[in-house]
Amino acid sequence: MKKLVLGVGLLLGCISTAPAADYTIDATHTAVVFKISHLGLSWTYGRFKEVAGDFSADPADPSKSSFRLTIKADSVDTDNGKRDGHLRSPDFLNTKQFPLLTFQSTGVKPIENGYEVTGDFTMHGVAKAITFKLLGGRVSEFPKGVQRTGFSTELALRRSDYGIDRLAEAIGNEVYVSISFEGTKK
């Protein structure tokens, strides 16, 4: 259970945007989901239900692109109220003391079908630099008059890197996070 909360936090931290952003994240078309091993026997899955952010994507000069993501830690949801409560507790996410998981990009480079994004991810009061591939960037107009674009990524985070190490014998240290988001042009 604790691993799930950590994994969700890590996943949310992976999305980011810049202060002068062109796009606002559309929460209706955004998801941060995670999985973590339970006893090495099975996977526990979860998600964060409250995610916000903004970004600028400049295909002509990717170094001008930026991403920012904020995840509300107490929005963790594993479809089990007792486990979710434990994940919100000081044993894991400690959502009262650390209410947000955040990501702010510090560098963006072009890669095939997207970007390589480096930035600072903060969870449980600990900030760490992370790098991941962000794929996508196709632009569409929907509904009429609303320009949108989207990206996705998958990454692994070590919960112990963020001071979340409870129940190490039962819950895996690696949290696998998938993030998919759309933004609408301001």
Q: Summarize the confidence of residues 167-183 as an average pLDDT.
A: 96
* Structural Rg of the chain based on CA atoms: 16
In which band, very low, low, confident or very high, does the pLDDT at 11 lie, cut at 50, 70 and 90?
A: very low
In which band, very low, low, confident or very high, does the pLDDT at 4 lie, cut at 50, 70 and 90?
A: very low
Number of domains in the chain: 1
Tokens of 87: 């994940």
Does 5 have pLDDT greater than 60? no
Of 11-20, 100-109, 141-150, the one with minimum mean pLDDT is 11-20
Segments forming the whole domain that contains residue 168? 2-185
No. of H helices and E strands in the chain? 2, 12
**pLDDT 10s digits, 31-43:** 999 999 999 999 9
Does 3 have pLDDT greater than 60? no
Q: Which residues of 131-163 are buried (b: 16+ CB within 10 A; e: fewer)?
A: ebbbbbbeeeeeeeeeebbbbbbebebebebbe
HEC states along 104-152? EEEEEEEECCEEEEEEEEEECCEEEEEEEEEEEEEEEECCCCCEEEEEE
Identify the pLDDT of residue 116.
97
Angle formed by the axes of helices 81-88 and 2-13, nearest 10°: 70
Does 85 have pLDDT greater than 70? yes
The CATH number of the domain holding residue 134 is 2.40.128.110
Beta bridge partners of 17: 67
